[in-house]
Structure 1
Amino acid sequence: MTVNPAHTALWTAPHASGAVDATVHVPGSKSVTNRALVLAALASEPGWLRRPLRSRDTLLMAGALRALGVGIEETVSSSSSVAGGPDGTGEAWRVLPAGVRGPATVDVGNAGTVMRFLPPVAALADGSVRFDGDPRSYERPLNGVIDALRALGARIDDDGRGALPMTVHGSGALEGGPVSIDASSSSQFVSALLLSGPRFNQGVEVRHTGASLPSMPHIRMTVDMLRAVGAQVDTPESGGEPNVWRVTPGALLGRDLTIEPDLSNAQPFLAAALVTGGKVVIPDWPSRTTQPGDRLREIFTEMGGSCTLTEYGLEFTGSGSVHGIDVDLSDVGELTPGIAAVAALADSPSTLRGVAHLRLHETDRLAALTKEINELGGDVTETADGLHIRPRKLHGGIFHTYEDHRMATAGAIIGLVVEGVQIENVATTAKTLPDFPDLWTGMLGA
């Protein structure tokens, strides 16, 4: 087997010589971009996505939709010198829905949104759609989507694994209707069914029957985006039953949507201000959003910073001290690696709770964070549903990433304060944050 040199290369994390003072243009949201692509592909008329994120996950989604017969045209205005530049300025994707068709093969990579959002779309195709991906994608749970689609009338071959690889045999339509699932391992199971629900003959009624749902903001994001393109959605928050979402069948409108900056990907830059006692400005931070990353304002303020939201964006300032935190991250689990990195540099212990589901993400993030921080001299203990972190004096060493983009950025945060930290496979950040090394060194004025 050929090993990609980028997977073994070591990147010396830049060490901050003083307080960071920078403005960082964060690329568009992966979560919004990939949801917008699916909704535009299922619409009854063309739509536009402006300032979309160009990363591995979003390009996999666009490539998969093209394989299913959807037209996606990329344009760059004359005001943008580089297509797909770090801030996406001037770039737009025009999506031309033409129905979905097979036979086709979809490469999901290791993108949860692609492997979970597209099987319901494939069930609407006229032909078979084969799903495959990276080896790690075979280990990530997909049973919630597979079982639900079968209950709604789809035919799927997965050899009983409840995981990839698999084939969805589309028949051109799906009856839809009520379905019960256990989405406790991923809120994406619910979002996947809701996104395609307007195109099912009876719409869809999704009832979650398991333990508490993680990442609820992502479901609210899905609902808001569905309503914005004309779908009728009933939710627990709008007076419906607890843990039940209903989508009425109907046509979806084409939209002209400008993608928000990815607030979760702003995390390492805000963390840089916090751990160095500096200041970072993130332009275009929305005043209202369903992105989980917006909670960073509250969490990092409690850990020692302060922030101001202006018409220009978010200004975040570190106080020079970093405090430990006891926090439930069940709704914002993707923020855990960065928060753990900051907690390892704090002046008091931290407990991060409600994130047992992270063991099923790009890697087992709880085990990975425990191992890597401890190998730099830290004191991290796994709990049943999270981490307990006791700050210790850290030293340099190799920080392994397990092909997980958020592990790479967590290591970079530690490297700002601890000299000699080397990040293995920093290129994995291209999954959702292209050009991270350049953005990071640019923040430091290098």
Structure 2
Amino acid sequence: MRDDLHWPAPTASLPVDATVTVPGSKSVTNRALVLAALAAEPAYIRRPLRSRDTLLMAGALRSLGVTIEDIPNSATNTPGGGDAWRVLPTGLHGPTRVDVGNAGTVMRFLPPVAALADGPVFFDGDPRSHERPLGGVISGLRALGARIDDEGRGALPLTVHGTGALDGGTVTVDASSSSQFVSALLLSGPRFNQGVEVRHVGAPVPSLPHIRMTVDMLRLAGAQVDAPEDGGEPDVWRVTPGALLGRDMVVEPDLSNAAPFLAAALVTAGTVTVRDWPTRTTQPGDELRPIFTAMGGSCAFTPDGLRFTGSGKVRGIDADLHEVGELTPVIAAVAALADGPSTLRGIAHLRMHETDRLAAIAKELNELGGDVRETEDGLEIRPRPLHGGVFHTYEDHRLATAAAVLGLVVPGVEVENVATTAKTLPDFPELWQELLSGGRPSGAESVPAGRA
């Protein structure tokens, strides 16, 4: 990686052929940390993701009084190796200050936890965090009995005045801008005196698989949860009050972060195997299998993991990505290299993610010669010959990995601030170069292979 802000994305001279290990899931790691902090007994989180977002979560919980111990590889006895965190729920207290960075899980999951602390907890973060929606969590907590000072912003910065307990009960929220509003209230719900019943009103909730992940992890921690997928009332989730168990869990690889690696196989007509891909999971990234298959690849489970192979032809797609919006940047990059147009729908909520992802994707692809048009709820992509240039990331990790995919077949792509990938995918430039070296540490740079 160069020392300046522009990383020259390597190009592939041959189809990629590699087996890769994707770091652990951010979504699972941060939910596991919250549940362990609220448990009645110690817990182990093995092979956690250690990235900016998860380290912010761990640091915030430590500031609230939770003990999180690092356990080295040699002491974990974890299947497949890896280190671990031992979490001791040693009480929640203020006053303290929480830095959320630009992590949606930290800024949304921790105010309910802070309401259970004894003392005030001040939340602040990166400038972009002040623009991200938080009103559903704030209004929901107030309805459940919490006192929050936000000077009427409905956003950061804010102070939660914890009293050591929260009544809980029934609350109505509009979670149409983020499924994390629902997950935030559910995760702490077992510790509320009356539990919690969350009722969503408004446009459909995006990224429902993430709520299913929350429900699944709550149940594994011993909570009783009623959810719509169990045949219950639509858009209503209930959590019964009760003690949470301290689990011993191994974090799955982050399947959403596998997107650029599978995309590399698709656009170079190569083969990539992702180790430890679960056969059953609540991660939205599992939808990469049918989506990229529809775009021209094929996949199969093997003893080594999920093997994905590109056919040499990339097809356009018409897809509703409402439930898997985080996959959009890499899918859009692949679509820009396809042999026909694509329409990506149901993703208006991406305008309020780490950046306005729809505007950013359209602008950066068009700057490289593409033909991308924003629609009311998505993108229309008409493939055109692309050329090199600087691809700006807007401090958004998924835009950086999308640019790397383009660089495999478009010579001269330079990724501005590739270091932003550390948010969820540490050491991405090194992992990417290893991919081009067959999963081995790289020597020489790849020879450019242009795209007409």
TM-score class, shorter-chain normalisation, is over 0.9
Partner of 1:304: 296
Partner of 1:26: 22
Q: How far 1:18 sits from its partner (Å)?
A: 1.1
Partner of 1:259: 251
Partner of 2:42: 46
Give the secondary-structure state (helix, strand or coil) at the position aligned to 2:229.
Answer: helix
Identity rate, percent? 77
Partner of 1:84: none
* Residue identity in the other structure for 2:324: V
Match among 257, 264, 268 for residue 276 of structure 1: 268
Distance 2:364 2:14 in 1: 25
- Aligned ranges 1:54-203 → 2 under 5 Å: 54-78=50-74, 89-203=81-195
- Aligned ranges 1:413-428 → 2 under 5 Å: 413-428=405-420
TM score, norm. by length of structure 2: 0.95
Q: How far 1:301 sits from its partner (Å)?
A: 0.3
Match among 271, 279, 301 for residue 287 of structure 1: 279
Q: How far 1:178 sits from its partner (Å)?
A: 0.1
Partner of 1:359: 351
Distance 1:112 1:88 in 2: 30
**Inter-CA distance 123–239: structure 2 relative to 1 (3 Å threshold):** same
Unmatched segments (≥5 aa) in structure 2: 443-452
The answer to whether the 8 Å contact 1:51/1:91 transfers is yes
**Number of corresponding residues:** 435
Give the secondary-structure state (helix, strand or coil) at the position aligned to 1:419.
Answer: coil
Match among 209, 212, 237 for residue 217 of structure 1: 209
Partner of 2:393: 401
TM score, norm. by length of structure 1: 0.96
**Inter-CA distance 65–14: structure 2 relative to 1 (3 Å threshold):** same
Give the secondary-structure state (helix, strand or coil) at the position aligned to 2:363.
Answer: helix
Match among 10, 27, 31 for residue 35 of structure 1: 31
Distance 1:140 1:130 in 2: 17
Give the secondary-structure state (helix, strand or coil) at the position aligned to 2:11.
Answer: coil
Q: How far 1:415 sits from its partner (Å)?
A: 0.4
- The answer on 1:229 being equivalent to 2:225 is no
Distance 2:213 2:80 in 1: 21
Distance 1:233 1:307 in 2: 34
* Residue identity in the other structure for 2:43: G
Show CA shifts across 1:204-255 (max 9, x none): 0000001011000000000000000000000111121110000000000000
Distance 1:136 1:88 in 2: 37
Give the secondary-structure state (helix, strand or coil) at the position aligned to 1:287.
Answer: coil
Once superposed, which parts of structure 1, at least 4 consecutive aligned residues long, lie more than 4 Å away? none
Distance 2:179 2:323 in 1: 10
Q: How far 1:308 sits from its partner (Å)?
A: 0.3
Distance 1:367 1:386 in 2: 10
The answer to whether the 8 Å contact 1:408/1:423 transfers is yes
Give the secondary-structure state (helix, strand or coil) at the position aligned to 1:266.
Answer: helix
- Aligned ranges 1:315-354 → 2 under 5 Å: 315-354=307-346
- The answer on 1:374 being equivalent to 2:366 is yes
Distance 1:77 1:178 in 2: 43
Q: How far 1:77 sits from its partner (Å)?
A: 2.2
Q: How far 1:78 sits from its partner (Å)?
A: 2.9
Give the secondary-structure state (helix, strand or coil) at the position aligned to 1:338.
Answer: helix
Distance 2:335 2:139 in 1: 39
The answer to whether the 8 Å contact 1:283/1:313 transfers is yes
Unmatched segments (≥5 aa) in structure 1: 81-86
Q: How far 1:151 sits from its partner (Å)?
A: 0.4
Give the secondary-structure state (helix, strand or coil) at the position aligned to 1:54.
Answer: coil
Distance 1:261 1:34 in 2: 13
Distance 2:75 2:414 in 1: 37
